[in-house]
Amino acid sequence: MLVVKFGGTSVGKPERMKKIAELVLSMPGKKIVVLSALSGTTNALVRIGDHLLAQQHTGAQNEIAELEKHYLQFSKELYSSEAYQAIGQEIVSRYFSLFRLLAAGKFDDRSYRELLAQGELVSTEFFYHHLQERKISSRLLPALHFMTIDENHEPELEKISERLKPILESVNVDILVTQGYICRNQNNEIDNLKRGGSDYTASLIGAAIRAEEIQIWTDIDGMHNNDPRIVKKTMPIAELTFDEASELAYFGAKILHPSTIVPAQKYGVPVRLKNTMDEKAPGTIISDKGSKHQFKAIAAKDGIIAINIKSSRMLLAYGFLRKVFEVFEKHKTSIDMISTSEVAVSVTIDDSTRLTEIVAELGKLGTIEVDKNQTIICIVGNALAEKEAVLQEVFSALGAIKIRMVSFGGSHNNISILVDTTQKDKALNLLNEGLFNLK
């Protein structure tokens, strides 16, 4: 069985959605089709939710009306027959009545999450009825029936697998359509897998059913060697190992949700990245195989905070680092990079929710300095650490860029450097020239 996921831009226009139907139809065997919301929808729902939380009802109503216009037009162009035009209008009117109902009630975090989930619910309903209109046999598989997260917001892979098994055994159609991104939490409330989470849904389903392959269809021809939004000349990479792709996703390659690779890797299910706009392009295959000792790609993650703890008590003392780490553990904040000297330790975090409490507690251990607006640049390649003179190449490519921290040797596959975010674009371009000879 295949799991095929189509992102927002791949379903963002009626003609694209029609093209996807063709594409799915041309794929052999059974497949689970995971869809995102139409492009721009989740952003619009976030804006509506923010207005409502801030009690700005007019702002929310205007956004809802604007979005409704877009959906009515979309539906008009998607369906051909009168009967399906009516079905389309009914779908739109049902969802937008719900939005208005949510907007009129007491709007809290729970209603916010319910609102965010509607984008994927409506896109899958649109698509399913489009298949129906074309007499393509398919079934809707509600993600809210099987996709759950635990009290730490971690997906319950075993349970997801147990729930999917009987469903898959009992259906006799080749195309099952489900929602990306959305799930239920431990309180049985509607929740989500964080922004960009449809990739993660596809990988979780792929792992849960031990799929043959997970395909992520998007608007670019695979994983590129650098961020194409920042660097002009980038190139697609034909093959990546799970470890390489995992590091790139975690450290900011937006093409994949940060956790996408984890479930697929656990069960060795290959992940293929493909371009909906150019089906013939080879894309990227991510598996346990891959060449070694080469620079493969660079990614960057913004919003990093560096914390430096300086203490003469650290000198020759054991147990000091444990005390530092315990503070982060207590506040459920994970550390990305770390570097130490005899009297100081620097760590980076990307979640500032508990920063004040963390800094206050660390203050008991030494003098604290906090640098915000930092970026981790991650240079990835299978067994890159073993490549001769690898650091020399990286540093000479970076030239005069001011580096705040370096992490090397922890992973064989990556070299991470921390720079001020103002230096990011320049650093990515210099690395592109120096390591890939692209300019």
Apex 393 CA angle, 412 and 243, nearest 5: 25
Closest to ligand ADP by CB, 131 vs 237, is 237
The DSSP annotation for 241-257 comes to EHHHHHHHHHTT-TTS-
Q: Is 427 helix (H, G, I), strand (E, B) or coil?
A: helix
Q: Which two tokens stand for residue 91?
A: 């779908």
Report, in Å, the least distance between residue 118 CB and ligand ASP: 10
SS (H, E, C) 323-387: HHHHHHHHCCCCEEEEEECCCEEEEEECCCCCHHHHHHHHCCCCEEEEEEEEEEEEEECCCHHHC
Give the distance, in angstroms, between the CA of residue 197 and the centroid of all CA atoms in the same chain. 5
Which residues ranging from 168 to 227 are in contact with ligand ASP (CB under 6 A)? 180-181, 195-199
As a whole number of angstroms, the distance between CA 344 and CA 339 comes to 9
Report, in Å, the least distance between residue 36 CB and ligand ASP: 3
Which residues ranging from 183 to 202 are in contact with ligand ADP (CB under 6 A)? 196
As a whole number of angstroms, the distance between CA 429 and CA 398 comes to 9
Residue 181 binds which of ligand ADP, Mg ion, ligand ASP, none (CB < 5-8 A, kind-dependent)? ligand ASP
2, 3, 4, 9: which one binds ligand ADP (CB under 6 A) = 9
Q: Which amino acid is at 332?
A: K
Which residues ranging from 285 to 304 are in contact with ligand ADP (CB under 6 A)? 297
Which residues ranging from 104 to 143 are in contact with ligand ADP (CB under 6 A)? none
Closest to ligand ADP by CB, 228 vs 282, is 228
Which range binds Mg ion by CB under 5 A, 5-13, 19-27, 284-292, 352-360? Answer: 5-13
Which range binds Mg ion by CB under 5 A, 27-35, 195-203, 227-235, 238-246? Answer: 195-203
Q: How many CB atoms lie within 10 A of CB 329?
A: 12
Closest to ligand ASP by CB, 96 vs 436, is 96
Closest to ligand ADP by CB, 224 vs 301, is 224
Closest to ligand ADP by CB, 220 vs 362, is 220
As a whole number of angstroms, the distance between CA 161 and CA 147 comes to 9
When CB distances to ligand ADP are compared, the closest residue is 7
Residue 195 binds which of ligand ADP, Mg ion, ligand ASP, none (CB < 5-8 A, kind-dependent)? ligand ASP
Residue 227 binds which of ligand ASP, Mg ion, ligand ADP, none (CB < 5-8 A, kind-dependent)? ligand ADP
Answer yes or no whether residue 88 interacts with Mg ion by CB under 5 A.
no
Helix, strand, coil percentages, rounded to 5, for the chain: 45, 20, 35
Give 385: exposed, middle or buried? Use CB within 10 Å, 0-12, 13-18, 19+.
middle
2, 3, 7, 249: which one binds ligand ADP (CB under 6 A) = 7
2, 3, 4, 8: which one binds ligand ADP (CB under 6 A) = 8
14, 155, 180, 196: which one binds Mg ion (CB under 5 A) = 196
Of 419, 417, 418, 439, whose CA–CA distance to 429 is shortest? 439
CB-CB contact of 178 with 204 (8 Å): no
Answer yes or no whether residue 227 interacts with ligand ADP by CB under 6 A.
yes
As a whole number of angstroms, the distance between CA 264 and CA 5 comes to 14
CB-CB contact of 142 with 124 (8 Å): no
8, 222, 252, 263: which one binds ligand ASP (CB under 6 A) = 8
Beta bridge partners of 108: none
- What angle, rounded to 10 degrees, do the helices at 57-78 and 41-53 form? 160
Q: How far separated are the first and last CA of the chain, in Å rounded? A: 41
Answer yes or no whether residue 220 interacts with ligand ADP by CB under 6 A.
yes
Of 28, 14, 42, 20, whose CA–CA distance to 277 is shortest? 20
Answer yes or no whether residue 12 interacts with Mg ion by CB under 5 A.
no
- Alpha helix ranges (H) inside 105-209: 109-133, 157-170, 198-208
Which range binds ligand ADP by CB under 6 A, 56-64, 104-112, 155-163, 217-225? Answer: 217-225
Answer yes or no whether residue 11 interacts with ligand ADP by CB under 6 A.
no
Q: Which two tokens stand for residue 143?
A: 């993600």
Report, in Å, the least distance between residue 206 CB and ligand ADP: 16
52, 223, 347, 379: which one binds ligand ADP (CB under 6 A) = 223
Contact set with ligand ADP (CB under 6 A): 7-10, 36, 196, 218-220, 223-224, 227-229, 253-255, 297
Contact set with ligand ASP (CB under 6 A): 7-8, 36-37, 42, 119, 180-181, 195-199
